[in-house]
Amino acid sequence: MIRTSLHSCLLIILFMPMNWVAGQNMILVPAGKFEMGSPESEKERIEDETLHTARISKSFYLGETEVPYSLWNKVRSWALANGYHDLSVGNNGFKDPANEDHPVVAVTWWDCIQWCNARSEMEGLSPVYHTSKRFTSENVIRNGMPSVTADAEASGYRLPTESEWEYACRAGTRSAYAMGSKDGEGFDQSGWYRINSARNTHSGGRKSPNPWGLNDMHGNVWEWCWDWYGPYPKGEVTNPQGPASGTARILRGGSWMNPSGHARSAYRHALAPSTVFYTIGFRVARYK
């Protein structure tokens, strides 16, 4: 029995994908450019989806799924024992199933950036979020709601920018959804929304992934992004990150409670960063 167990463990390690890290598979998103926003002809289009060209100059990793509650809880437990005191307990999806593989929900934007820092420190990576441009250990955000500065050179976990999120969601497509027709035909096979969700969250990876292997970019839970909400810039832009200040942070992707139109690749949503709701979760990014 011991030999079998050891052999199984060795096989798991041997065939583990190279981009697997500490409990969640990360998908490499290549650098490139795309048309961000939506054409005026797109069904259910909103005025703030102004079509423009955005360039992503640096490859990055993005979580294959939204952060599951099991991983949230694992990192939170470490964090509470290592100087983090404000992290919400969150919730295992909406209806709190017996297993812990539903996406964590009921977490604020502040919870997410603190958790990203905690996971980075737990795994020996450099944290992204600091209180000033002096990126020292003393300035790492672990508690509270201070001013936030992101270290663009850090190796740790972070929220994707809005442009990174849409670029990864589209995965080279230009239609309203990365899968199915431009009007959402076939969307039931790729996302959870108001009609097919049975009014609940679902564990990650149960629907078809997009062309780059990312799951649940459409529907299931809204995902916090880094950016403050603001109008899109005009013309071609490189690595846009939204305005320098604001009152609402971007969320993307729609949720189990919303209509399919809110899960379109271009749809924008924004709420105060202290908002807590059972439709809101997140996924993490990291630089290559």
Task: Indicate whether 18 belongs to any domain.
Answer: no
- CA-to-CA separations, 184 to 2, 162, 180, in angstroms, rounded: 51, 22, 6
> What pLDDT does 47 receive?
96
In whole numbers, what is the pLDDT of the chain averaged over residues?
90
Q: Domain for residue 6, yes or no?
A: no
Residue 9 lies in a domain: no
- Identify the CATH number of the domain in which residue 35 sits: 3.90.1580.10
- Flag whether 15 is in a domain: no
Contact 220, 253 (CB under 8 A): yes
- 100-142 pLDDT, tens per residue? 999 999 999 999 999 999 999 999 999 999 999 999 999 999 9
Q: Is residue 12 part of a domain?
A: no
Flag whether 182 is in a domain.
Answer: yes
Classify residue 17: in a domain, yes or no: no
Tens digits of residue pLDDT in 233-278? 889 999 999 999 999 999 999 999 999 999 999 999 999 999 999 9
Q: Residue 268 is which amino acid?
A: R
pTM of the complete model: 0.91
> Strand pairing partners for 228?
249
| pLDDT > 70: percent of the chain | 90
pLDDT attached to residue 180? 63
Burial label, 195 (beta-carbon count in 10 A; 0-12, 13-18, 19+): exposed
Q: What 3-state class would DSSP assign to 252?
A: strand
Confidence grade of residue 11 (pLDDT, cut at 50, 70, 90): very low
Quote the number of domains for the chain.
1
- Let me know if residue 164 belongs to a domain: yes
Residues 262 and 270 sit within 8 Å (Cβ to Cβ)? no
Mean pLDDT of 49-69: 98
Which residue range(s) make up the domain with 214?
23-287
Q: 99 falls in which pLDDT band (50, 70, 90)? A: confident
